[in-house]
Amino acid sequence: MFTALIAEDSKPILRNIKALLQSTELPISVVATASNGEEALECLRSQPVDIMLTDIRMPKMDGLTLIEEAKRLHPQLKVVLISGYNDFEYTRKALNLQVFDYLLKPVERHQLMDVMERLIGQLNESQVSDTDMLKEILDAQYRSGVKLGTEFREQAHCPLILRMQPFTPGTGNWKTETLQHCLEEVCAPHASWVFPTQTPLQALVLVHASVREKFGSFLDWMNAVRQRLADEGLEVSAGGQLQPLEPGELPDLYRRISRQLDERLALDEPILLDANLLPRTPGEEQSDDAEKKAIMGSFLEMIRQRQRERFLLKLSEQLHRWRQESIRVAELERFLAMMADTFGEQLSDHDPWSRLKQAEAVGKLMSSASYASFCEELLAWAGEGFELMQAQNKKSSQELFQQIDDYVQMNMYSHLSITDLALKFHVSPSYISRIIKRHSDQTFVHYYMQLKIKEARRLLEDKPELKIKELSDALSFSDQHYFSKVFKEYTGCSPTEYKERLRDEEDQKKPSEE
């Protein structure tokens, strides 16, 4: 619904226009009427409207003077002029004042409907334009229900971006309603609007450009805003300008300030950014210097080498050093992202989603209420990461040994070397050797020979008629003598002696003859 003011010194004409508007189904509400220009101007000062219909000839202040003064108060005001046939010269001057259109007396319904329908169409387009200007900035859920009224569009705005300082308490107080209340107190009597943005814990504030009458400088304005928010337990960094925005400038300015907040935000000291002092063109992200790269590289290598204790000790020391240096938040976030990615990389063989899980988990740490709790939670998270890798290694090595053991059992009658196993399981011979040693407490040779001799003993028990040469050949020994030597080494007797012992045991089991 759009609001309208009618200024007309003739009461019958005023009543007629008001009745015609009210009888239509157009979304227009007549909220005020005036019988002269001064009265109309006073109404506009106390109650901004979307549309003003005004006669040209009125006492105290004529229509042209009223339009000039009204446009100074509300540049976006839509004006429709009411004139007679003999007022053409006045009408021509009014059109130069960006009057939307004019109506000739006596005002008829079809004439009024035609002008008002076109005017409402333009107002609707203006509202869509306002929302479009914000669509890349505002939180999607909030944007779907936002409605910007006349007061928002009536003049230019000064922009301000607020971001919650990391590792500070008070996150629970970060609500649009709380921010709106604080900004209204600081900027009063100048209207202000607070919008939640797509960036968590970041808000866009637009204040009528008239706020410049209250604050002498951007710094004065920011100090007042930050102090009022601090009273609510909210520590913020901010960026903006005390100059009104030109149409269409907001999206670019918002991106520029947000990018600078991303890069410059530090742990301890909140920052203030005056947009007029920032570079106008997007800057390339500066690469970390050699020392920072070396530090990051050393931590990532400790993860890959599974050096848990050393990693946690060094990380604790580094976190303390970063607090003293007040590291930039962007650098800290890059470090966390690379660390999470490296943990995820080491775990990805068993969990394809591990990188996303690690990134999500470490990202939540940035919302810690204090740097001390952040450090404590980060060290605990890293420790859990090492435990996951250790558990995965234990599980994977156990699985690999089981696969090796199954394969060897199935190929007992072939000749297998450690190289054959390495090729089969796509790992190095040394890794095969370590896996077998870890899970059997034996070298590969002893493990392999023990399995063969165990099989040889089973065959001798099941098939006592089997010759030693046949047994040796079946188990792929190079010759009978070598087989006999190995057999005696593992059993304490030769294959022949073992067969005789089995025969004696069998004889003893037979019942004695009476």
By the 8 A CB rule, do 181 and 166 touch?
Answer: no
The band of 513, judged by pLDDT with boundaries at 50, 70 and 90, is very low
Distances (CA, A) of 166 to 14, 335, 367: 59, 16, 7
Domain 2-128: which topology?
Rossmann fold (3.40.50)
How confident is the model at residue 24, as a pLDDT?
A: 84
CATH architecture of 156-277: 2-Layer Sandwich (3.30)
Mean pLDDT of the chain: 84
Q: What is the mean pLDDT of residues 29-55?
A: 91
Residue type, 316: S
The answer regarding whether domain 411-509 maps to CATH 1.10.10.60 reads yes
Which 3 state secondary structure label does DSSP give 467? coil
**pTM over cut 0.75:** no
The band of 284, judged by pLDDT with boundaries at 50, 70 and 90, is very low
Helix ranges, 136-175 (H): 140-143, 150-153
The band of 202, judged by pLDDT with boundaries at 50, 70 and 90, is very high
Residue type, 463: K
Domain boundary assignment for the chain? 2-128, 156-277, 290-389, 411-509
Distances (CA, A) of 176 to 76, 135, 156, 262, 280: 27, 17, 22, 21, 29
Q: What is the mean pLDDT of residues 209-218?
A: 88
On the question of pLDDT at 476 being above 80, the answer is yes
Q: What is the mean pLDDT of residues 98-103?
A: 83
Beta bridge partners of 161: 204, 239
On the question of pLDDT at 282 being above 50, the answer is no
Say what percent of the chain tops pLDDT 90. 35
Structure tokens at 107: 């005002």
